Amino acid sequence: MDRITKGYMNNFAASQELTGQNESELFESFACYCVLSKEYPEHFDISDIVTGGGSDAGIDGIAIIANNVLIHSQEEFDDLAEQTHTITDLKFIFIQAKTSPTFNGGDIATFGFGVCDLLKEQPELVQNAEVQEKSNIISHILSNMMRVRNKPKCLLYYVTTGNWTEDQNLCSRIEGVKSDLKSENLFSEISFVPVDANYLQKLFKNTVDKIQAIIDFPERITLPEMEKVKEAYLGILPACQFLNLVSNEDGIIKSILYDNVRDFQGENDVNVEIAETLNSSEADKFVILNNGITIICKELKNIVRNQFSLEDYQIVNGCQTSHVLYNNKETISDKVYVAIKIISTDDEETVNKIVKATNRQTEVTDEQLLALNDFNKRLEAYYQTYSGVQRLYYERRSKQYTSVMEIEKVRIVTVATQIKAFSSMFLDKPQLASRYYGRLLKDSKDSGEIFNTNHQFIAYYVSAYALYRIEFLIRNKQIDQQYNKYRYHILMILKYLVLGDQKQPQLNSHKMETFCQEIQGILADSNKLNQYVEFACKIISDQVGDLSNAENAKTALITDKLKNAAMVVKL
């Protein structure tokens, strides 16, 4: 492995607080992280993706993405389909990682065979628990395609530390794998991407570098001064200049569109109409027929004359327009212009208001409105009162801390993670952690169980910090990997082990604050925490029996058994 790749991998290990993996295992995690970050710009737990090890069917990582949501269970897919009414974008991603300095045709064929076998109704290869769980989710989705608008995309990434040279024999192997997958008639698109050391380094750099672009912007007017806005412009851009902002050699830059309320809707009536306009004699009227694009950036510099540099920017409306322009880039004439508004601000409240206002014609979900919620603003401020090893970062707005390189990524708490951790520890609902968090939010919010203005903030922080500590132990193999799917149950059990024979205090009481401080003391003491976690794992092992069956972690019956067992344990 070359020094640059190894250096990046070590940076990744530090960011993820990984200390217990050998080089081969670490490279698998590193490769999976880099590849998935390209397809999914939100934060994710790498242990939910990596499948490598014994009986992995030649697949080191599997990810399922539906409507920009990373799917971890059949129930989460069903909840998402119900909440959004239809799945418009679906991807199955398979990753194989080798530390070898060369690309091996046999390994490529084995990887392809493993993917093809996994897609069978009755797979023949032996599968470990992680592969089997992903296989079951994919099988469930393929059996419920009435909920999906288009066939899924199948993306294969084969990663090595070597140099890809378009070798004819290797290209032939890749085409053979794609042909085998195509014959299954399951996918709308199949791609097989060989990732060499240079490309892997680029993928990792993309996860830490602030996104930048330079445009020529002569047709503009300067908007008046506004409070908390550094500068703002209104104008038009040639379509080719606009595409420099939204795409690179790999295609659309997904991360800059992630604040949009909706993902790309594909060839629906509106998008077909946009494409027809672009390819018609009225293409020059596109600028007055389209609503235009709003861009927010942290830094905007007028380099020279009409040339501007944008740094750390987001397109907050115009997802559909951006994709259609990109898909028609080869045929767009130089007469096509895009109406554009560029706003430079680093004030989060201003950003949130712009996002909400520019998307008001689209239904905004409860999950998306949370960033504007006063409770969540105050909760974020509460997180900021902690420092040192206790510091976590509550990310109430998507990718809020992505460009802050000094933050260890595992210390970022997303809204989804917060909801699942709090619901598991203090609402005794760990079995629902595998569900789509929007469903869990709706059910709990309607009853006032979560994000209640009277709740003690410390309960939210402590549940997230406990999850962070437990996930650290799992990542670094201080807890057996088989308990990973029960990590939310461990949160609940930990609470009851601390409570003993006492009742849980009310979430709005001062007693809850005192109780949470007691839990904090245990979390801060590694020896004590290990003792409590060992007890929790023993309770799970005794009560569940078959830990390899992922369905056991999803039942209220198991939750009740674990709760009752924990309540009688004396530490």
The model's pTM: 0.79
User: Which pLDDT score, from 0 to 100, does residue 482 have?
Assistant: 87
For residue 325, which phi and psi values (nearest 5 degrees)?
Answer: -60, -45
User: Which pLDDT score, from 0 to 100, does residue 43 have?
Assistant: 84
Strand residue runs (E) in 171-292: 189-195, 212-216, 220-222, 231-238, 247-248, 251-252
User: Which pLDDT score, from 0 to 100, does residue 134 have?
Assistant: 94
User: Which pLDDT score, from 0 to 100, does residue 370 have?
Assistant: 62
pLDDT at 437 over 50: yes
Contact 401, 460 (CB under 8 A): no
User: Which pLDDT score, from 0 to 100, does residue 554 have?
Assistant: 87
User: Which pLDDT score, from 0 to 100, does residue 459 have?
Assistant: 96
pLDDT at 354 over 90: no
Q: How far apart are CA 402 and CA 335, in angstroms?
A: 36
E strand or H helix at 357 = helix 348-358
Whole-number Cα distances in Å, 260 to 113, 153, 318, 343, 502: 37, 21, 8, 16, 46
Name the residue with higher pLDDT: 155 or 311: 155
Q: How far apart are CA 357 and CA 317, in angstroms?
A: 10
Q: What average pLDDT does the segment 447-466 reach?
A: 91
- Residue range 160-187, pLDDT digits in tens: 999 999 999 999 999 999 999 999 999 9
User: Which pLDDT score, from 0 to 100, does residue 548 have?
Assistant: 81
User: Which pLDDT score, from 0 to 100, does residue 246 have?
Assistant: 87
User: Which pLDDT score, from 0 to 100, does residue 465 have?
Assistant: 97
Give the list of residues 6+ apart from residue 172 with CB closer than 8 angstroms, or none.
none
Q: What average pLDDT does the segment 550-557 reach?
A: 87
Q: How far apart are CA 255 and CA 313, in angstroms?
A: 10
Q: What average pLDDT does the segment 6-26 reach?
A: 89
E strand or H helix at 529 = helix 526-544
For residue 516, which phi and psi values (nearest 5 degrees)?
Answer: -65, -35
Largest CA distance in the chain: 79
User: Which pLDDT score, from 0 to 100, does residue 72 have?
Assistant: 92
| b/e sequence 524-563, b meaning 16+ C-beta within 10 Å | eeeeebeebbebbbebbeebbeebeebebbbeeebbebbb
Q: Across the chain, what does the average pLDDT equal?
A: 88
Residue 49 banded pLDDT, cuts 50, 70, 90: very high
Residue 270 banded pLDDT, cuts 50, 70, 90: low
pLDDT at 156 over 90: yes
- Residue range 219-245, pLDDT digits in tens: 999 999 999 999 999 999 998 889 988
Q: pLDDT over 90 for what percent of the chain?
A: 52
Contact 376, 422 (CB under 8 A): no
For residue 403, which phi and psi values (nearest 5 degrees)?
Answer: -85, 0
User: Which pLDDT score, from 0 to 100, does residue 262 have?
Assistant: 46
- Residue range 238-269, pLDDT digits in tens: 988 899 888 888 788 877 875 544 455 555 66
Using CA of residue 226, residue 228, residue 230, residue 234, what is the dihedral sign?
A: negative
Pairing of strands 412-414, 393-395: parallel
- Residue range 497-540, pLDDT digits in tens: 999 888 999 999 999 999 999 999 999 999 999 999 999 999 99
Residue 472 banded pLDDT, cuts 50, 70, 90: very high
Strand residue runs (E) in 217-305: 220-222, 231-238, 247-248, 251-252, 293-304
Q: What average pLDDT does the segment 137-154 reach?
A: 93
Q: pLDDT over 70 for what percent of the chain?
A: 94
Residue 446 banded pLDDT, cuts 50, 70, 90: low
Residue 487 banded pLDDT, cuts 50, 70, 90: very high
Local structure of 14: helix, strand or coil: helix
- Residue range 537-552, pLDDT digits in tens: 999 999 988 888 888 8
- Residue range 73-130, pLDDT digits in tens: 999 999 888 887 888 889 999 999 999 999 999 999 999 999 999 999 899 998 888 9
